[in-house]
Amino acid sequence: MIQSFGFSSLPILLHGALWTLILSASTFVAAGIFSLIFALLRVLGPKPVRLLIAGYIELVQATPLLILLFLAYYGLSFLGYYFPPLAAAVISLTLYATAFLADIWRGCIEAIPKQQWEAADALAMSTPQKLRYVILPQAFRISLGPTVGFLVQIVKNTSVTALISFVELTRAGQLLNNMTFQPFEVFLTVAAMYFIICYPLSYYSEYLQGGKRARSST
């Protein structure tokens, strides 16, 4: 039955949007935990560990997210594990996001001048103490802007999971399109909803990075 696209279509889209948010949030939390660990390991760890993590980052950053997604969803089922779309989505999104976020956070930690480390050393602080009281608080402040900016990327990346039939916002749009055959209106609305989610985050990210927006007049 071909319905018409209108307000009655909203619940489907909103449902999809909800899952977009859930997926984004879970990815961000999971990737956050791993990224922090990896970033610290890359700065402080032994050489083989540093190289391993660097290799992982380089490899993942050279692979499309979609391929990772297909590998998780179709590929791992071969190993005898059935991964429901949600699990495959979270795993691949997290794997992908960690590779980028760990690099961003590593950069923020390395941005702290060597003198700060030396000062903490001179005060006889242990490494965990240095990190906790001196380095990470400063790195955190620097990382806020780029991290919020990357959150926008995470939200946009969730759209790819539509291609393994996970019903987030984009997939909801595809389903709605199949019901109404009004793709332009449907996807315009979908785009608008993404915009409503992402733009405030982008704006906040710019604001955190020193008001480039404020200086953007010609």
Partner 1 sequence: MHFGPVLDRAPEFVDGTINTILLSGQGIVIGLAIGLAVAIIRVEGPRWLDRIAVAYIEIIRNTPLLVQVFLFFFGLPYIGLRLSADTSAIIAISFNLGAYSAEIFRAGFLAIPKSQIEAGLALGLTRLQTIRYVVIVPALKVVFPALTGQLTLTLLGSSVVCAISANELTLAASKVESLTFRSLETFLVAGAIYVTLTFVFRFTYWLISLWLFHRKDPARFQIAGALPHGQERVEA
Complex with partner 1: residue 136 or 170, whichever CB lies closer: 170
Does position 33 interact with partner 1 (CB under 8 A)? The reply is no
Interface residue with partner 1, options 11, 64, 84, 137 (CB under 8 A)? 64
Q: How far apart are CA 122 and CA 58, in angstroms?
A: 36
User: Which one of 3-11, 29-37, 59-67, 84-92 is the stretch in contact with partner 1 (CB under 8 A)?
Assistant: 59-67
Q: Quick check: helix, strand or coil at residue 113?
A: coil
Q: Which of residues 187-216 bind partner 1 (CB under 8 A)?
A: 187-188, 190-191, 194-195, 198-199, 202, 216
Copy the structure tokens of residue 72: 């998780």
Q: How far apart are CA 59 and CA 143, in angstroms?
A: 23
Taking alpha carbons only, the member of 69, 61, 71 closest to residue 89 is 69
Copy the structure tokens of residue 189: 């609305």
Shortest Å, Cβ 102 to partner 1: 16
Q: Which of residues 133-172 bind partner 1 (CB under 8 A)?
A: 152, 156-160, 162-163, 170
Interface residue with partner 1, options 34, 70, 117, 207 (CB under 8 A)? 70
Complex with partner 1: residue 105 or 194, whichever CB lies closer: 194
Shortest Å, Cβ 36 to partner 1: 23
Count Cα atoms within 13 angstroms, Cβ side, for 64: 5
Q: How far apart are CA 110 and CA 45, in angstroms?
A: 14
Interface residue with partner 1, options 25, 67, 119, 123 (CB under 8 A)? 67
Complex with partner 1: residue 7 or 184, whichever CB lies closer: 184
Taking alpha carbons only, the member of 152, 157, 44 closest to residue 96 is 157
* Phi/psi-derived region of residue 3, left when phi > 0, alpha when psi is between -120 and 50, beta in every other case: beta
Q: How far apart are CA 11 and CA 131, in angstroms?
A: 47
Does position 77 interact with partner 1 (CB under 8 A)? The reply is yes
| Strand extents, DSSP E, the chain | none
Does position 59 interact with partner 1 (CB under 8 A)? The reply is yes
Q: Which residues of this chain interact with partner 1, rule CB under 8 A?
A: 59, 61-68, 70-71, 74-79, 152, 156-160, 162-163, 170, 173-174, 177, 183-184, 187-188, 190-191, 194-195, 198-199, 202, 216-218
